[in-house]
Chains A and B, each alone.
Chain A
Amino acid sequence: MGAGVNALRHRYGASPLHLAGHVAALALCAYAISEVLDPGLRPVNFLVWLVGGALVHDLLLLPAYSLADSAARRVLARRGPLGVAALNHLRFPAVVSGVLLLVYFPLILVRADGNFVRATGRHVEGFGLRWAAITAGLFALSAIVYAIRVRASGAAARRRPAP
């Protein structure tokens, strides 16, 4: 029995429990997917969406924001601690504003006004303006805090006795 388990471990690469757990999970996944495909509800479209989110995130969204961050880092981080602080004072409002846009882009960019009117009786109005105002407010707040920190560190440097 032990020899059998060891042979399985050698061939498979992990414990029998690993195999059993994964087979069960993947079987449940396959069954669930088949239930969506079965009634013929645009099966290709469903599979594209199921896998596509992972592809769009991993190969488009993540590289895009990573590159933007790298570029900002290259410009700012070489300017010492104040540059690094500036980088983070850009990152915070950019990330918060970016995530708000990512979650609410259909309303902000007015992607489904027809559906919205039919459902609610009202038009998609003002979301873009409110998001822009929030974004401006976040950047302004961050700039103010940064300015305060720069002034405070400048004052601290002047208070230190000369070497």
Chain B
Amino acid sequence: MIAAPPGPTRETFWRSPLRGPWLTALLGSLLGPAVLIIALTGLLSNAAYQPDLGRNAIVPDGGLLPFTLGWPTSPAWLYALTQGTHVVLGIVAVPLLLAKLWSVIPRLFTWPPVRDVAHAVERASLLALVGGALFEFATGILNTQLYYPWGFNFVVAHYYGAWVFIAAVVVHVAVKLPVVRRAYRERGVLAPLREDLAGTRPESYEPGGLAPPAPDAPTISRRGVMALVASASAALFVVTAGQAIGGPLRRLALLAPRGSQSFGPGPNGFPVNKTAAVARITPAMIGAQWQLRLAGAREVSLTRPELLALAQRSEDLPIACVEGWSTTQRWTGVALADLAALAGVPDGALLHVESLQPRGVLRQATLSEGQYRDERSLLALRVNGTDLSVDHGYPARIIVPALPGVHCTKWVAKLTWAPA
């Protein structure tokens, strides 16, 4: 065997006395459940878009899961919860991910680079793991800031990138579980966190292990490192979570894209996603001659004054975006169930909603029977006691409890009830 060249492939290159199986086990024990929740809420988000209905699917053929859940309308804050968790936890877990990667970096430079076939196979899966993890975190976090420095379709890539990450994590956990158990057995689970700086000892060196053979003297204890990670995560939580949780926390969301500064004055002052300008809505389209077209057993057209003359309902409902923010407002309009009765709806029909927006895959959405029959689901004409602003979907928008915001179609042109 050729000796390792000078540099990081030699074990003596790595000097931190804190590296070792125990620290990595602890970081992994925290990152694992976080990643599990992030993955599950991510898959729930995919389900919330109901890719099996109509043309809802953005990932062709709905992706890797052949079954569909159906998505409920209760509780109204369901999607706000799952997607808020997905984004906030994803952001808050970044320091944990960075610390974990720091703790195992000597492994990138193991010597010899390939011992046997099993080693090569494991290293390939680790490339998928680290690459997949950073890809998912990076694309997700950049998407929430509307920054797209890449050339691929975000939704498709983020969805399949998640499967690369999930596959690699599952096999990684399976392989490392005995290592984690052994580290906890030898050193205790939380015992090393009781050591102060003076009592910080390096983990015992084993050739090929993570603990260094010639460590420097420690300058920070292990609990100091965990406090550092926790501080960074807490800071990210404080500057982010308010955009999803709302209330007084929203004022602290200083760096979140839809945080403290994204609310303007007045009843229409809550955040907008997709302005009328980018959707190419012209004043002519939404002027006095606009009519809502209903198509079911009958075809019915209604002007805005005619819609306002129908029985109006008001509901406090959140609008929850896939980018991880939500806000609750008071919407007033005609119940979708009432419009369904006007048009005459065959049993088991789905509702296809079309916008005045001329182009774009999200100019339409398909809703399930449960969604349009829910008494809280509205064709909203007014919000917070005043007409919808143009950016918020004037003359009319859909609002359905627990439905992802983008499927609450704005500038509604036509509602069609048809069997699946």
**Partner-B contacts on A (CB < 8 A):** 11-14, 18-19, 21-26, 28-29, 31-33, 35-36, 39, 41-42, 45-46, 49-51, 53-54, 56-58, 62, 66, 73, 77, 84, 87-88, 91-92, 95-96, 99-100, 102-104, 106-108, 111-112, 115-122, 125-127, 130-131, 134
Contact = CB atoms under 8 A, between A and B. Distances in A.
B119 interface: yes
Given A25-B125, A45-B152, A134-B235, 18 more contacts: A11-B117, A22-B121, A26-B125, A32-B163, A32-B167, A41-B152, A41-B156, A45-B151, A46-B152, A53-B130, A57-B130, A62-B105, A99-B232, A99-B235, A100-B255, A106-B146, A119-B273, A121-B391
Contacts of B273: 119-120
A91 B160 contact: no
A116 B174 CA distance: 42
Contacts of A57: 101, 130, 134
Interface of B: 60, 64, 91, 94-95, 98, 101-102, 105, 108, 115-119, 121-122, 124-125, 127-128, 130-132, 134-135, 138-139, 141-142, 145-153, 156-157, 160-161, 163-164, 167-168, 170-171, 174-175, 197, 217, 219-220, 224, 228, 231-232, 235-236, 239, 254-255, 257-258, 261-262, 264, 271-275, 277-278, 391
Nearest to A72: B219
A35 B64 CA distance: 10
A107 B255 contact: yes
A103 B130 CA distance: 18
Contacts of B261: 125-126
Contacts of B118: 12-14, 18-19
A28 B124 CA distance: 13
Contact of A29 (B101, B148, B164, B224): B164
A87 B391 CA distance: 50
Kindly list the 3 A-B residue pairs having the minimum CB-CB distance in the complex, ordered from nearest: A53-B134, A13-B116, A13-B118
B258 to A, nearest CB: 8
A99 B236 contact: yes
Given A53-B134, A119-B275, A127-B255, A92 B219 contact: no
Contacts of B262: 120, 122
A25 B170 contact: yes
A20 to B, nearest CB: 10
Contact of B161 (A14, A32, A126): A32
Contact of B168 (A18, A25, A31): A25
A51 B131 CA distance: 5
11 contacts: A25-B170, A35-B156, A41-B152, A53-B138, A58-B105, A91-B228, A95-B232, A103-B91, A104-B239, A106-B145, A111-B145
Contacts of B175: 18, 21
A13 B123 CA distance: 13
Contacts of A23: 121
Most central of A31, A46, A108 by chain B CB within 10 Å: A46
